[in-house]
Structure 1
Amino acid sequence: MSMRSTTQNEKSHHYFAKWITISVIVGVVCGLRALALLEAIRIITQLTLTGIAGYSPLLAGGEGGTSGLVLSTVRYFIPIVTALGGLAGGLLIYFFVPEAAGVGTDVAIRAFHRQGGKIRSRVPALKLLTSAITIGTGGTSGREGPIAQIGAGAGSAIANLL
């Protein structure tokens, strides 16, 4: 084997190792942020729907699921809590991060195609907060879109550091 091919092999291995390391870091950060969103949703649900409205939402079996129970005789608190949560989340998005509005996957894809993958650093944190408020107060939203956008923001932040 010539000296030249050994050098090219070393460069190839270094390049591969660099991208594996970056991928692992991004994956761990995204996973931790996803867990933070899930925990924030749980806390907000406990404080608002369960604490104020007396409603314990239905959970999936894998999440320790129980049937949804209304523990309060004042059922009209449920739509009030949900409406106030939607209002709070909407106002935060409108005034602080309008680019975070909508489905997180669409926003992440748009950032990749139209903005060179750049996402402002405050977008993931506020998306986490607004999504936790919306979902935690009973709003009709899923967790996957916000997790995708929060993860894309983490990847963008790490790329900016490098």
Structure 2
Amino acid sequence: MLRKYFWLPVIIGLFAGLFAILFVEALEVITHLVLEQVVGYYQPLPGGEGHRETFTWEPLKPYLLPITVALGGLISGLLAYFFAPESAGVGTDAAIYAYHHGKKLSLKSSIVKLITSAVTIGTGGTSGREGPIALIGAGLGSSVADWFKLKESEKRKALAIGSGQSSSYL
């Protein structure tokens, strides 16, 4: 009883939080390497995420931005196509679909979503952080449920716990 209702959400929350941190860190590294170093675009930080002294209103090399976006999209698309097709698209849609239809999300889909979303956003593509984080957490919750051999109804709860806990990190 204690295992199901206390320890499993704690385990899912720890994994979801760690993967959320990995996602944000990967996103920052790719953004720094591609947008800042290659394109010369230093974005202002969103409100509440600190303060950047120097930022540019437009890229110093705007002709490189379409190339980096295209390459980022190509890399993300190929990774999703070959390694985890369920990770393609909007993360929240896949997590909601898996919840309502009793589908399993794998740890592999979480890892692929982490990489592809960091590459997409970090190279200048249009995407948000919330959808990928929700799918990453949902996949982790689903995987933990499989590891502990939970019943079908409990697997759905674990998926929802992972999705909600990882999203609260942002």
Q: Secondary structure at the match of 2:95?
A: helix
Aligned residues of 2:15 and 2:140 also touching (Cα < 8 A) = yes
Where do residues 11-160 of structure 1 align in structure 2 (5 Å cutoff)?
15-16=1-2, 18-66=4-52, 68-69=55-56, 73-114=60-101, 116-160=102-146
Q: After superposition, what is the alpha-carbon deviation per residue over 1:3-42, rounded to whole angstroms, capped at 9, x for unaligned?
A: xxxxxxxxxxxx2564111111111211111111000000
Identity of aligned residues (%): 51
Partners of 1:109 and 1:69 in 2: how far apart? 38
Structure 2 alignment gaps of length 5 or more: 149-170
Name the CA shift for 1:69/1:160 in 2 (closer, same or farther; >3 Å). same
Partners of 1:28 and 1:46 in 2: how far apart? 27
Partners of 1:65 and 1:49 in 2: how far apart? 18
Q: After superposition, what is the alpha-carbon deviation per residue over 1:76-129, rounded to whole angstroms, capped at 9, x for unaligned?
A: 112211121111111211222111111101101111222x24112310000000
Query: What is the CA-CA distance between 1:73 and the residue it aligns to?
Result: 4.1
TM-score (norm 2): 0.79
- Which amino acid letter does the alignment assign opposite residue 52 of structure 1? V
Aligned residues of 2:39 and 2:62 also touching (Cα < 8 A) = yes
Q: CA RMSD in A?
A: 1.8
Structure showing greater Rg: 1
- Which amino acid letter does the alignment assign opposite residue 19 of structure 1? Y
Structure 1 alignment gaps of length 5 or more: 1-14
Aligned residues of 1:86 and 1:134 also touching (Cα < 8 A) = yes
Name the CA shift for 1:119/1:70 in 2 (closer, same or farther; >3 Å). same
Aligned length: 147
Name the CA shift for 1:155/1:72 in 2 (closer, same or farther; >3 Å). closer
Name the CA shift for 1:22/1:81 in 2 (closer, same or farther; >3 Å). same
